[in-house]
């Protein structure tokens, strides 16, 4: 069995695909296959891939062109063709960080015992400042701080990934975050202190409109994926619900909606600790509400 399947979804990726593939070819680790899942490129992506494959005859490249509904649908299709013990997803505009990355990951102790291994990425382009994102994660960081592990930084044992199931294509931008939540609820993630990839911030996930469907389902999904009766998970869930209620209260206040007081009260009741600014805002909302009621009584009495 091949040790590692590297999945690269492409669509009109002619400007970047050669750099991406070359970063794989120069690796000191070679027991891998490259699965390119193209969604119907109309530029020179396919020609470049075929030319690159001829020039790198020792690299196992599997190219398929078929329509998809987006990047996560393409990734799901590619996994069905993957034969590796491990799965890794690399964007067509991303590159592996250095020639020894795959050797360090696949040769680690974690590769013998873990189902999920992750490191960090170097972010470039967009508004980034070539920073390293984002180190070791905890459940609180993944859920309460609303931060995700980049899929360019993470490796999944294929048998485990297939047990978890496919990416939810209802989430057009953040299906990988949802997938990581599902994985975290089932297994321990192993962190390696290394930079796995150079991650381009010019893609849709960095500059797209967001993922309203994912945001709407976020709290409910946490309740589904995690045992919310377990003490630590209960704390995490309450903090998330509290933060969500607070955001709702702030929005309502800007809109002049008097229900903002009720929303902020719910936020404080759910999680009374931390973010003391909420109490200041709650008191202001309360006084405003009482003032409005008093004004209403004065008008009626006249």
- Neighbouring C-beta atoms of residue 153, cutoff 10 Å: 24
- The whole-chain average pLDDT of the chain stands at 90
Note whether 188 and 249 are same-domain residues: no
145 domain-assigned: yes
Closest CA to 293 of 277, 301, 152: 301
Note whether 99 and 160 are same-domain residues: yes
Q: Residue 127's pLDDT is what?
A: 72
Instruction: Kindly give the interhelix angle for 277-301 and 231-255, rounded to the nearest 10 degrees.
Output: 40
For residues 125 and 162, which has the higher predicted lDDT (pLDDT)?
162
For residues 141 and 106, which has the higher predicted lDDT (pLDDT)?
106
Note whether 252 and 185 are same-domain residues: no
Which of 33-42, 89-98, 220-229 shows the lowest mean pLDDT across its residues?
220-229
Q: Residue 255's pLDDT is what?
A: 84
Residues in a beta bridge with 95: 198
Q: Residue 245's pLDDT is what?
A: 80
What distance in Å separates the CA atoms of residue 223 and residue 234, rounded to the nearest whole number?
Answer: 9
* Count of structural domains within the chain: 2
Rounded mean pLDDT, 173-200: 95
Closest CA to 141 of 152, 150, 149, 129: 149
18 domain-assigned: yes
Report the relative pairing of strands 32-38 and 60-65 from DSSP bridges.
Answer: parallel
pLDDT category of residue 86 using cuts at 50, 70 and 90: very high
Q: Hey, what are 286's tokens? A: 């309360």
pLDDT category of residue 110 using cuts at 50, 70 and 90: very high
Note whether 172 and 23 are same-domain residues: yes
Closest CA to 32 of 8, 64, 66, 68: 8
Q: Residue 202's pLDDT is what?
A: 82
User: Token pair 């390696």 is at which residue?
Assistant: 192
Q: Residue 214's pLDDT is what?
A: 94
Contacts of residue 2, Cβ cutoff 8 Å, sequence gap at least 6: 31, 32, 33, 60, 83, 84, 85
166 domain-assigned: yes
Q: Residue 240's pLDDT is what?
A: 74
pLDDT of 126 above 90: no
Note whether 88 and 114 are same-domain residues: yes
| The last residue of a domain, from among 212, 245, 268 | 212
Q: Residue 301's pLDDT is what?
A: 64
Q: Residue 25's pLDDT is what?
A: 96
Beta carbons of 156 and 87 less than 8 angstroms apart? yes
**Residue 291 belongs to what domain range?**
227-301
pLDDT digits (tens, 9 = 90+) for 28-85: 999 999 999 999 999 999 999 999 999 999 899 999 999 999 999 999 999 999 999 9
Note whether 23 and 69 are same-domain residues: yes
222 domain-assigned: no
Q: Residue 137's pLDDT is what?
A: 92
pLDDT of 192 above 60: yes
pLDDT of 217 above 80: yes
43 domain-assigned: yes
189 φ/ψ angles, rounded to the nearest 5 degrees = -90, 135
pLDDT of 181 above 70: yes
217 domain-assigned: no
Instruction: Specify the DSSP element, H or E, that contains 37.
Output: strand 32-38
* CATH code for position 43: 3.90.550.10
User: Above pLDDT 90, what percent of the chain?
Assistant: 66
For residues 123 and 226, which has the higher predicted lDDT (pLDDT)?
123
pLDDT category of residue 229 using cuts at 50, 70 and 90: low
CA Rg, the chain, in Å?
24
Note whether 199 and 58 are same-domain residues: yes
Helices assigned H by DSSP within the chain: 17-25, 45-55, 71-81, 101-106, 110-113, 139-143, 158-164, 175-184, 204-207, 212-225, 231-255, 260-270, 277-301
- Neighbouring C-beta atoms of residue 146, cutoff 10 Å: 12
Beta carbons of 214 and 173 less than 8 angstroms apart? yes
Is pTM beyond 0.85? Reply is no
* Segment of 27-36, 133-142, 279-288 carrying the highest mean pLDDT: 27-36
What distance in Å separates the CA atoms of residue 75 and residue 135, rounded to the nearest whole number?
Answer: 25
Contacts of residue 298, Cβ cutoff 8 Å, sequence gap at least 6: none
| The last residue of a domain, from among 184, 212, 240 | 212
């Amino acid at each position: 069995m091949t040790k590692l399947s590297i999945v690269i979804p492409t669509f009109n990726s002619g400007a970047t695909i050669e750099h991406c593939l070359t970063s794989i070819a120069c690796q000191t680790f070679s027991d891998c296959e490259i699965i390119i899942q193209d969604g119907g490129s109309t530029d020179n992506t396919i020609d470049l891939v075929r030319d690159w494959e001829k020039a790198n005859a020792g690299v196992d490249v599997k190219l398929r062109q078929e329509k998809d509904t987006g990047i996560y649908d393409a990734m799901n299709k590619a996994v069905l063709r993957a034969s590796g013990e491990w799965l890794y997803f690399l964007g067509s505009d991303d590159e592996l960080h250095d020639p020894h990355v795959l050797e360090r990951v696949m040769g680690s102790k974690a590769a013998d015992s873990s189902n999920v291994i992750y490191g960090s990425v170097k972010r470039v382009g967009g508004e980034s400042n070539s920073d390293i994102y984002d180190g070791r994660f905890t459940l609180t960081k993944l859920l309460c701080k609303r931060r995700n592990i980049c899929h360019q930084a993470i490796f999944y044992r294929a048998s485990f990934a297939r047990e978890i199931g496919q990416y939810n294509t209802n989430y057009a931008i953040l299906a990988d975050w949802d997938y990581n939540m599902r994985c975290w609820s089932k297994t321990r993630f192993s962190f390696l202190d290394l930079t796995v990839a150079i991650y381009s911030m010019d893609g849709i996930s960095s500059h797209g409109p967001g993922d309203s469907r994912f945001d709407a389902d976020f709290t409910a999904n946490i309740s589904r994926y995690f045992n919310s009766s377990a003490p630590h998970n209960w704390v995490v869930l309450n903090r998330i619900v509290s933060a969500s209620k607070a955001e709702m209260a702030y929005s309502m206040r800007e809109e002049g909606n008097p229900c903002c007081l009720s929303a902020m009260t719910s936020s404080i009741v759910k999680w009374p600790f931390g973010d003391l600014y909420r109490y200041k805002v709650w008191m202001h909302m309360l006084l405003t509400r009482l003032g409005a009621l008093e004004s209403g009584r004065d008008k009626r009495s006249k």
